[in-house]
Amino acid sequence: MVGGSAVVVAGLIVGVAACGAVPNAGSRSAAGSSSGGTGTATTAPSTTTTTVPLTVASVTPAPSSALPTDGAITIDFSAPLASPVQPTLTPPVAGHWSQSGRTLTFHPTGGYIPSTHEVVTVPQGIKAVEGGQSVALSSSYKLSYHVATGTYLRLQELLSELHYLPFTFQPSAQASTAAFVTETGSTPPSSSSTSTTPGTTAPSTTSTTAAPTTTTTAPALQREPTQADAISTSPVPGTLSWAYPNIPHDLAAAWSPGKANVLTKGAVMAFEADNGLAVDGIPGIQVWKTLLQAVATRKVDPHPYNFLMVNETGTEYLRIWSAGKFVYTTLANTGVPGAATAPGIYPVYLRYSHQIMRGTDVNGTKYAVPVSWISYFNGGDAVHGYPRASYGYPQSNGCVELPIPNADMMWNSAQGYDGYGVLVDVSSGPLGS
């Protein structure tokens, strides 16, 4: 292509510099004869050759499409490359480039950070051979990608490895070469990999599914790379099994592998709180970055897995289920008719040691009362301490009230009984498994 035109490649406009004609003209004079004849001067015909600069012919995937979290990037040039080329990625990603003829491919070791923007820069001046001539890329070439969102299944696997979910993740033997040895450059697993889960029936043993014969015994966390960007961001073949016995029915019923659910949201919130992030339960860019770093450094949840259960039938109680056992029971008050505590499972999202709580009673009376050891879980509903003459029946304006010493014990416990992300189950059913 000559004359300063442009080539459109994969939705991008790549500038092509104009190449002028290369003259190759000369003259040759014939000597006169000895007989006095006059010689005739001749001129060689003018010739012109055109050198076309090296260009990018195609890119896969196209920059306008989402880049899979473990996807390869392939760049095809207009001519075979003459020397090794190492484009750069911003932000940096562990991986390697392979080169074959006119094709250059990047293979990520673990994967790209989900939901980030990745820019690939091919440097100016790289050489290729076209028609026996050396040609070069006249200017740097950039590709800009938006990385796909992370999968919930891989998020759940990693949170389970760090004990933020009540599961044991057991990778299969296939995963030992397909995912965990990624630092040697092996191909990450496909996103079609699956993990299994039990039904809603509470298991009687520490695992709800028998380990397949292909499953290895090494803990998943210890098999992960110790370099954050070498950790796979795609699901790893394996099994998610309940880590504890005596799983409460409502907790089991709320679980679904590979999908957004309240268990996963609560686990993300607990992880955010432990790592100084905004507590919103959304697995965004910063959560993924921090999560991969936590896996690389083996930074596990410092608290046991806790689940709070509140009943609104008969005498009202709050019970704490912690790492497979009921460890504490206290009388509680829920909301009165007209301001009942909404049933459901909710994660603790905000905490205060003391607060003036303001609102309107069902009879229209305004109130502003001091409360202590507060953990909000659903809008304005919170578990907190409040002085009453008695407990065990509806008395509040939607909150779950506890005797102040009991709320103090929970809020200040080193076990994090009602900490950020802990699930509060308000139910009309019995407080058991």
Q: Is the pLDDT of residue 338 over 50?
A: yes
Task: Give the class (CATH, top level) of 51-148.
Answer: mainly beta
β-strands 423-427, 306-311: how paired?
parallel
Question: Among residues 24, 21, 7, which one has the least CA distance to residue 77?
Answer: 7
Q: Among 385, 417, 392, which Cα is nearest to 331's?
A: 392
Stretch 108-112: mean pLDDT: 92
**Any idea what DSSP says for residue 205?**
S
Residue 166 and residue 244 in contact, taking contact as beta carbons nearer than 8 Å? yes
For 31-55, write each residue's pLDDT tens digit.
333 444 444 445 555 544 445 789 9
Query: pLDDT per residue over 277-298, tens digit each?
Result: 999 999 999 999 999 999 999 9
Model confidence pLDDT, tens digit, residues 381-428: 999 999 999 999 999 999 999 999 999 999 999 999 999 999 999 998
What pLDDT shows up at residue 129? 86
Instruction: Determine the Cα–Cα distance for residues 351 and 238; give it in Å rounded to an integer.
Output: 36
Residue pair 169/155 in contact by the 8 Å Cβ criterion:
no
Average pLDDT of span 49-65: 83
The predicted structure's pLDDT at residue 242: 97
Q: Out of 19, 96, 146, 399, pick the active-site residue.
A: 399
Residues 6+ apart with CB under 8 A from 414: none
Give mean pLDDT, residues 351-374: 95
**Best CA proximity match to 232, nearest among 291, 276, 282, 281:** 291
Rounded average pLDDT over 61-67: 90
Euclidean distance between CA atoms 351 and 349, whole angstroms: 7
Instruction: Please indicate whether residue 354 is annotated as part of the active site.
Output: no
Mean pLDDT in residue range 220-247: 93
Q: Is the pLDDT of residue 2 over 50?
A: no
CA distance 192 to 278: 31
86 phi and psi angles, rounded to 5 deg: -130, 85
CATH of domain 306-427: 2.40.440.10
Greatest Cα pair distance, the chain, in angstroms, is 142
β-sheet bridge partners, residue 128: 81, 135
Take residue 116 and report the two structure tokens written for it. 């980030």
Mean residue pLDDT across the chain: 82
Q: Residue 192: which pLDDT band, with cuts at 50, 70 and 90?
A: very low
Hey, how many other C-beta atoms are within 10 angstroms of the C-beta on 203? 18
Task: Write the CA distances from 416 to 10, 16, 262, 356, 360, integer angstroms.
Answer: 53, 63, 18, 23, 31
Residue scoring higher pLDDT (176 or 174): 174
For residue 399, indicate whether it is catalytic: yes
User: What confidence score (pLDDT) does residue 430 get?
Assistant: 63
For the chain, the domains span 51-148, 152-285, 306-427
Peptide bond into 171 cis (omega under 30): no
> From CA 196, how far away is CA 331, in angstroms rounded?
37
Residue 84: pLDDT band by 50, 70, 90 thresholds? confident
DSSP element (H, E) containing 296: helix 285-296
- Read off the pLDDT band of 134 (50, 70, 90): confident
Asked, as a colleague might, if the bond just before 91 is cis with ω within 30 of 0, I would say: yes
Residue 25 scores a pLDDT above 50: no
Work out the angle at residue 151's Cα, subtended by the Cα atoms of residues 109 and 262, and round it to the nearest 5 degrees.
140
